[in-house]
Copies of this chain bind each other. A is one copy, B any other.
Amino acid sequence: MEKMTSDFNLKSFLKQNQKCIDDALEEFIPQPVGAFAQIHEAMRYSIFAGGKRLRPILCLASYHIFQSEQDDLSSILPAASALEMVHTYSLIHDDLPSMDNDDFRRGKPTNHKVYGEAVAVLAGDALLTLAFEVVSKTEKIGSETVNQVLQELALRSGTLGLIGGQILDLDAEGKTLSGDQLKAIHLHKTAALIQASIRMGAIVGGADEAPLKSLTLFGEKVGLAFQIVDDILDVESSTETLGKTAGKDVNQEKSTYPSVYGLAESKKMAEALKNEAIEEIDLFGEKGEPLKSLALYVIERKN
């Protein structure tokens, strides 16, 4: 888990930022009381199910390249929290019986196993809606920037991003995919929201077009590597370590990087993407350190 590069301490960076994000989510998601207690409880159940907060933390790390002020995060926490809401909504819907039909996620029963399918559908809808609401209320940054962030989130969560990836994934069931087809799925299903995370942080931070471009490429490469590692872990890890059913891809005869390229080649590809990703953000020097460490952490993780 612990990775160190130069003086930057990733472990404490993660811990501190996870706390920030959890506090923000606690504030943004209504309490489970009153007439709507159940839906708010269902939203909270999946949001607080032990996620690593990777997307919000990537967002914060990207923001800090352009804004060194560490104390006041009020302008970036809405965007960071919205990313976790969108990620969580997509997991809730993805786990539904009509989709991947997963009973466990992060070692806990999935949302529909606890609250029933109808509430799970609505809890996902509600998190997606709340994500946009929270961003639209961001203070201290101009409303033009707020709109830019909203557009970014909507675009990369929509049919040309996350949802498009789900569709490609559904279409792929029971088929043997080419490497390009597999890449297209992961670019949409995984890389798009990671790119959104990094871009939204940079946009709130006030980044220009040129650094945004580098960060977008960085996000693409980290996103792809993340997914390749996911595929590798599905083969190599136990269900206990993963917190979700291991070997599921093989059992479902799903095309994965290991099934298309073999394990050794898949590992090489993840390694290459990692190096290319890091190269993309070399230009930020010391300020890019958190983002660099996060990339290493994500790609070298064991679960």
* Closest B residue, CB atoms, query A144: B143
Query: Which residues from 58 to 94 on chain A have a C-beta closer than 8 Å to any C-beta of chain B?
Result: 89, 93
Query: Which residues from 89 to 109 on chain A have a C-beta closer than 8 Å to any C-beta of chain B?
Result: 89, 93, 96, 98-99
Residue A39 contacts which of B39, B116, B146, B163 (CB distance < 8 angstroms)? B163
25 residue pairs A–B, Cβ–Cβ below 8 Å: A30-B159, A35-B168, A38-B167, A38-B171, A39-B164, A89-B125, A96-B121, A99-B121, A119-B170, A121-B121, A122-B163, A122-B166, A126-B158, A126-B159, A129-B158, A129-B159, A130-B154, A130-B158, A132-B154, A133-B154, A136-B151, A136-B154, A137-B151, A143-B144, A143-B146
A39 contact set on B, CB distance < 8 A:
159, 163-164, 167
Contact A118 B98 (CB under 8 A): yes
**Extra 13 A-B pairs, beta carbons < 8 Å, given A93-B125, A129-B157:** A38-B167, A39-B159, A39-B167, A93-B122, A98-B116, A99-B118, A99-B121, A119-B170, A122-B167, A126-B158, A129-B154, A132-B150, A132-B154
A212 contact set on B, CB distance < 8 A:
none
* Closest B residue, CB atoms, query A163: B126
Contact A125 B163 (CB under 8 A): yes
Total chain A interface residues with beta-carbon distance under 8 A: 50
A99 contact set on B, CB distance < 8 A:
118, 121
Does chain B have a CB within 8 A of A142?
yes
